[in-house]
Amino acid sequence: MTASRPGLTDRQAAILALVAAGVTAPAVATQLGIKPETVRKQLAAARRRTGTTSTREALLIARERGWMSPR
C-alpha cells in the first residue's frame, strides 16, 4: 500500500482501473504479464479491503475514498 492509497495496493488499483475500463480478467492478466488467477486473487483482496462482495462495488468505494482516480 502507498500513502496515496491506504486501502489498496498499487496492483489492486491498477487491476480495478483496467476492469473499470472494460478489460476482461484474462486480458488484464495478459496486459500486466501476470496469471489470470493472480487477477482473480487481487480482485478478491480489493473486495475484502473495501468490505464489498462485488468488484463493481469495490471500484465505486475505492473511487469514493480517493484510492484511485475517478475515471
1 within a domain of the structure (yes/no) = no
Cell 491506504: give the residue: 6
pLDDT-derived band at 68, boundaries 50, 70, 90: confident
Mean pLDDT, residues 18-33 taken together: 96
2 within a domain of the structure (yes/no) = no
5 within a domain of the structure (yes/no) = no
Task: Quote the pLDDT of residue 3.
Answer: 42
Task: Quote the pLDDT of residue 5.
Answer: 44
Give the DSSP H or E segment for 68. Answer: none
Q: How many domains does the structure of the chain reveal? A: 1
| Residue, of 71 and 59, whose pLDDT is higher | 59
From the list 55, 49, 38, the residue with the least C-alpha distance to 8 is 49
| Distance of alpha carbon 29 from alpha carbon 69, whole angstroms | 21
31 within a domain of the structure (yes/no) = yes
Looking up residue 31, the CATH number of its domain turns out to be: 1.10.10.10
The boundaries of the domain holding residue 26 are 10-64
Q: Residue 2 forms beta bridges with which residues? A: 5
